Structure 1
């Protein structure tokens, strides 16, 4: 199973989601059966590390995302991944609008896919302070529980 987590710039929400999910997957029965990456719909931050506030907040929870680098969603992602999981509706709309011919990846809101919140969005903390970054981490941490449960089901691991 290949999952790509998508937000706007790939420096706040999607790298934190990638880091949290990587840690949870590694410690679960789906370890070794899931590939994970993240990307942004925009190109402003390509090649840059996650926002320093995201790195610091994740580190406070024992998750190291400092080695990740932002990249932009590519046409090849639509054939290389099974799911494109989006932080919010605007990202989902953009992902679907950019789908090339022959795209096989399915797309959904991340929180919805994880079974956490129907039509729920991960708020962008970029213009906020520490409380917003903490809120995003806690939301994604809860979503990771649902992601693991769904992956176990989809991979027939019970």
Structure 2
């Protein structure tokens, strides 16, 4: 199983999502068969750059190191490689689906609704905010990561992994 977390620039939300998922997948002992990466729909702005220092600090504050990640742009080929593309918001979902090869657009989903997180469809972009905004985004991301791992762990009723 391969998961790809997607936001706009791949320097805030998606690196935190990748980090949170990796941590939760590792805790659940699923790291031998679940792989995670991240990308940005407009990743060309930041390609090759480290995550935003505030994202790194936020994740580190929750025991997750994302400092080694590097931004990259979402590619059409990612739809062939990844089973599920978890998008941070509707704009990124739309942009991702527009890039998808024929028949593969359904692999991209809004992460929070897919995970069953009530109250929001969007992981807000904290880039223009302060650490409080990064913490708010982290809370949503980590909640979604926890539910994602539960869905992957319960094979019979996951909706993802056949029994």
Settle same-fold status: TM greater than 0.5: yes
In the other structure, the counterpart of 2:59 is: 58
Q: Is the 8 A contact 1:82 1:105 kept in 2?
A: no
* Structure 1 unaligned residues grouped into runs of 5+: none
In the other structure, the counterpart of 2:15 is: 15
Q: With the length of structure 1 as denominator, give the TM-score of the two structures.
A: 0.93
Which sits farther off after the overlay, 109-118 or 130-139?
109-118
Residues in 1 aligned to 2:90 and 2:118: alpha-carbon distance in whole angstroms: 13
In the other structure, the counterpart of 1:129 is: 130
Q: How many residues are paired up? A: 157
Q: Deviations over 1:80-121 (max 9, x none)?
A: 011111000000000111112363761110111212137611
Q: Is the 8 A contact 1:85 1:110 kept in 2?
A: yes
Structure with greater proportional helix content: 2
Q: CA RMSD in A?
A: 1.7
Q: Secondary structure at the match of 2:74?
A: coil
* CA shift for structure 1 position 31: 2.7
In the other structure, the counterpart of 1:91 is: 92
Residues in 2 aligned to 1:28 and 1:152: alpha-carbon distance in whole angstroms: 8
In the other structure, the counterpart of 1:5 is: 5
Residues in 1 aligned to 2:119 and 2:2: alpha-carbon distance in whole angstroms: 22
* CA shift for structure 1 position 137: 0.9
Q: Secondary structure at the match of 2:5?
A: strand
Matches within 5 A, 1:76-87: 76-87=77-88
Q: Is the 8 A contact 1:78 1:105 kept in 2?
A: no
* CA shift for structure 1 position 150: 1.1
1:68 aligns with 2:66: no
Q: Deviations over 1:68-90 (max 9, x none)?
A: 00000011101001111100000
